[in-house]
Amino acid sequence: MGEAVQRVFVPSVTEEDGGTIGLGCFSSEETAWQVLRAFLKKSEQMLLTNCSVVVWDIDIVGEEAMTVLSTMECKDCPVCGRRTFWIDVDNFSALCHGNACSAWIEENTIDPEIIDCGWPTIRFLKQNKSIEEAVESLFRLGDRLKSVGEERMDETAAESMIDESTSD
């Protein structure tokens, strides 16, 4: 007979109207995160406001049985403009889960006074003094991309955009 499950991991999302959608109940934290990330890739198809992963300890009465591992809020992505930019409000980081975007913001791992942001598509990386400055850097990048329009950007134009962004 297998070992009894001592805790479960429950990912969920909250809709704009306040309804909560549970995405399952898992014995592994890794599986709960995989399910949540897969769901967030489709988040622009729904009106979502936030999501969380909660741990429930089995056979414990009261609120001590529940621990919130992470809570994230959904915003419009500063680069692609879709509502797929998920911000972890506990450990500040943000990631766009939209197809082909993946814009991100996070605290620097070496210097906590620096906020890094980037857009992998053109290998854009910028260090900033504040979260607001990082968001503004990504908005400026998004504005530049929109101004290019529907034309396909060649490598030289992409490198020029990177150079302009790093000199801001």
- Cβ within 8 Å of residue 100, ≥6 positions away: 121
One digit per residue, pLDDT tens: the chain, 168 residues?
556 769 999 999 999 999 999 999 999 999 999 999 999 988 888 899 999 999 999 998 888 899 999 999 999 999 999 999 999 977 789 999 987 899 999 999 899 899 999 999 889 999 999 989 999 999 999 998 888 764 555 555 555 655 555 555
Which amino acid, residue 42? Answer: K
Instruction: Give the chain's end-to-end CA distance (angstroms, integer).
Output: 62
Alpha-carbon Rg for the chain, nearest whole angstrom, is: 19
Of 82, 90, 81, 86, nearest to 105 by C-alpha is 86
**What is the pTM assigned to this prediction?**
0.77
Dihedral of alpha carbons 90, 91, 97, 103, sign: positive
DSSP state string for 99-114: TTT--EEEE-SS-TT-
Q: What is the DSSP letter of 88?
A: E
